[in-house]
Amino acid sequence: MIIPVRCFTCGRVIASDYEKFVERVKKGEDPKEVLDALGIERYCCRRMILSHVDLIDEISAYE
Amino acid sequence: MIEKKIFEGNKAELVVSGVDSSFMNSIRRTLLSEIPKLAIDEVIFYENSSPLTNEILAHRLSMLPIPTEMDLFVPKDQCVCEGAGCPNCTLIYTLSKEGPCTVYSGDLEAQRSEFSIKDKDIPITELAEGQRLILEAMATLGTANKHASYQAAFAVGYKNYPVISIDYSKCDLGKTCIDACPPNIIKKEGNRIVIEDIEKCTLCKECENRCEFGAIKVTYDPEKFIFRFETDGALEPEEVLKKAIEMLDKKLESFSSQMFTVEEEKQ
């Protein structure tokens, strides 16, 4: 659906980094390096971003 | 004794010696659950035609990091307004947006500008053409034992200080330990094996298990700890730690004062 505000496990705010991550990976950067550059260290937070499927665009037509 | 303390941005790292793990754990648990923080806990929706339901939006809003000044607010249930909500206990945010757009945390307008949310890029929802979101959100002070949205410190943890001893008479400089070390902290310097940053050691003992000659030994100091935690930007890590110690102090004080006022039960 939409990226969760925080990491489920540790509680770090991750939603604000998701759009930056997607943008930079689309430009051809290595996901590992983008996550490191964004300061997302722990694997709990990294999986939040890596495994997310953003479907909000598809359902936003429905109220 | 605190041997080292680093407060950098939202992160804190301390090296503490001469204490035991129960002491460190009491600080850890206080940090996790007893620090008061502001979080949105009531939302009034005037209009919501967004794809997400009111409940999901309210939950997303509650998880936003609200900049907190602990001395300026009192918990709602202890306030003079008796839970009705007044400027002493409640901070009001308003939001009004019409699509097509993405609603971000930065779109929330705080009643007092010093409390506007610092992290402005958190997406709350998306709005398609013609969809509208108008709401009023109330933030109050609370602690994490009520709800996770009030949690002030994250990834709080401590580990024993590693002690790595190398017996140079047994070592053949075969580099097995260097290749085996996951955090990559063992290095070769001339004809000696040296440990570069011992605080990065995870005590995994991979080097010890791989070495055929038993030249390297990994142990830990039971009375010395590396303590790390983070905040979400709502509070400074130094402030959070100070408050935790204060809360722990208060608890112990009330315990010790009751020691002399509560009567002993006769057996």
Residues B100-157 have pLDDT tens digits of 999 999 999 998 888 999 889 999 999 999 999 999 999 999 999 999 999 999 999 9
C-beta atoms of A19 and B52 within 8 A: no
Q: Is A55 on the interface with B (CB under 8 A)?
A: no
Residue that is written with structure tokens 């200080």 in the block: B161
User: Sorting pLDDT into bands at 50, 70 and 90, what band is B85?
Assistant: confident
**What token pair was written down for B94?**
């308003």
Residue B83 has pLDDT above 80, yes or no: no
**pLDDT confidence of residue B122:** 94
Phi then psi for residue B25, to 5 deg, are -65, -35
Domain B2-33+154-229 and domain B37-150, same fold? Reply is: no
What is the CATH number assigned to the segment(s) B37-150?
A: 2.170.120.12
CB-nearest partner of B148 from A3, A11, A60: A11
Q: Which of these, B149, B136, B120, B154, lies nearest to B60 by C-alpha position?
A: B149
DSSP A6: B
**pLDDT confidence of residue B71:** 86
**pLDDT confidence of residue B152:** 92
Q: How many other C-beta atoms lie within 10 A of the C-beta of residue B155?
A: 19
**pLDDT confidence of residue B203:** 92
**Residues on chain B touching A52 (C-beta within 8 angstroms):** none
Q: Which of residues 15-54 of A touch B (CB under 8 A)?
A: 15-16, 18-20, 42
What percent of chain B stands above pLDDT 70?
99
CB-nearest partner of A12 from B123, B148, B230: B230
Condensed to tens digits (0 to 9), the pLDDT of residues B28-45 reads 999 999 999 999 999 999
Residue B263 has pLDDT above 80, yes or no: no
When mean pLDDT is compared across A40-54, B5-19, B152-166, B251-265, the lowest value belongs to: B251-265
User: Sorting pLDDT into bands at 50, 70 and 90, what band is A6?
Assistant: very high
**pLDDT confidence of residue B80:** 87
What is the CATH number assigned to the segment(s) B2-33+154-229?
A: 3.30.1360.10
Q: Is B128 on the interface with A (CB under 8 A)?
A: yes
When comparing pLDDT for B261 and A50, which is higher?
A50
Q: Which of these, B111, B67, B106, B65, lies nearest to B86 by C-alpha position?
A: B111
Condensed to tens digits (0 to 9), the pLDDT of residues B190-248 reads 888 888 889 999 999 998 998 888 889 999 999 999 999 999 989 999 999 999 999 99
Number of A/B CB contacts below 8 angstroms equals 60
Torsion angle of alpha carbons B119, B122, B125, B126, nearest 10°?
A: 100
Among A16, A40, A49, most B C-beta atoms within 10 A, so best to mutate, is A16
Interface predicted TM-score (ipTM): 0.92
**Residues on chain B touching A12 (C-beta within 8 angstroms):** 154-155, 230, 232
DSSP, collapsed to helix, strand or coil, labels residue A13 as: strand
User: Average model confidence (pLDDT) for chain B?
Assistant: 91
Among B28, B49, B52, B97, most A C-beta atoms within 10 A, so best to mutate, is B52
Domain ranges across chain B: 2-33+154-229, 37-150
Query: Which domains does chain A show, CATH number per domain?
Result: 15-60 (1.10.10.60)
